[in-house]
Amino acid sequence: MTETTGVTGRGSAADGLAGVFEVSQAMCSPLSRDELLQMILQMALLQTGATCGSILLKDDSGRFLRIVSSVGLSEEIVRSVRVRVGEGIAGKIVESGEPVLVANIDDHPEFSKLARHYCDKSFMSVPLARNESVLSVPVRAPRRIIGVLNVHRKCDGTPFTESELRLLVILANQAAVSIENARLVDDLENTYMNAFGSMALLLEAKDPYTQGHTERVTGLCEDLGRTLNMDEQDLQDLKMGARLHDIGKIGIHETILNKPGKLDDEEWLIVREHPVVADRVLAPILFLQNARPIVRGHHERMDGRGYPDGLAGHGLSLGQKIIIVADAYDAMNSSRSYRAALSEDQIRSEFASNVGTQFDDDVVRALFDILDVTHQVLV
């Protein structure tokens, strides 16, 4: 550890531990990686009295650091800085694994020459002021160092202290575990979604009339959700459900899926089970729990005569009402083995005739607004 000051910390140990406890509690909450990183950095600034800081993480190659969260840096710096591990101040700290406290950057024998230009990969990847005090600590996961946490420019102009350095080390260690856990969760979620994506492609290969159906329904669901001012998290759940809404059909034989005539009673019962089958497939997967009602409910109706649960009116969420409309629109707008695609006038007539029975009035109005805009663009 590089130490050039013996100044005692201004905050009490209790204040610092309270801050560590607060961030550890927050890191147990369901945050995205970007939200988590920003929360960690804000807590680091709060606990050290710094006004500027950054978190740099290794890229996929493991040879370079990129800024993933920052306060007080320009967008150009965040976008362009790429620090090689082992070079510059941040790169050397990641390589050595040792935390660094510098009371006066101009007095430091190694780092003073790197302190003025971010293109020289300075301490914070920003130009440092003269006589500036800085802290930098490695972000250390259980088996490897994944990045560096930097703070500088104290609001009261005093140098950083050993107690603030120790606090930052604890915070960075907690952060590393949470970042690694978030990465593992992301990897698991991507694995699941890739598997389900493959299932959707297999389904479309079995039923050529539905080729591209999943992506079109997902896109229309997003457009409808935004038109209806849907909450961002609910919108993400809707899009996830839309991508997965037909995976229950994977077990249905293509002779039923592609039958040119009317299904018999036994075949119809098999088809009606696909939302339930999909719901069972998704049930064990925690991150898809909010998408399950979208998948299960995409064939419900406003009048309660849909399937599988006979939900009606207020029993349907906005997301379910949207996917019911989006799924029906794409079915009408696509050719099937038993009929050609409907014209836009026919589609509008079908929706207008079934508002309140099959479809929600607000969602249908939003659909017509989207169609009007699309028509204007095409004209």
DSSP secondary structure string for all residues of 284-334:
T-GGGTTTHHHHHTTT--TBS--SSS--BGGGS-HHHHHHHHHHHHHHHTS
Is 50 exceeded by the pLDDT of residue 179?
A: yes
Q: Where in the chain are the domains?
A: 13-183, 207-378
DSSP 139: E
312 forms bridges with which residues in the sheet? 303
Q: Write the pLDDT tens digit of every residue in 277-306.
A: 999 988 888 788 999 999 999 999 999 999
Q: Write the pLDDT tens digit of every residue in 300-351.
A: 999 999 999 999 999 999 999 999 999 999 999 987 766 788 999 999 999 9
Are the folds of 13-183 and 207-378 the same? no
- pTM of the predicted protein model: 0.57
Is 80 exceeded by the pLDDT of residue 20?
A: no
Over residues 48-55, mean pLDDT? 89
Structure tokens at 103: 């009371």
Over residues 247-259, mean pLDDT? 82
Confidence band (pLDDT; 50, 70, 90) for 194? confident
CA distance 294 to 281: 14
Q: Please, what is the average pLDDT of the chain?
A: 81
Please say whether the structural domain 13-183 has been given the CATH code 3.40.50.410. no
Q: Write the pLDDT tens digit of every residue in 58-117.
A: 998 999 999 989 998 888 888 888 888 988 778 888 999 998 887 766 666 666 666 554
Fold annotation for 207-378: Hypothetical protein af1432 (1.10.3210)
pLDDT at 168: 87
pLDDT at 364: 97
Confidence band (pLDDT; 50, 70, 90) for 275? very high
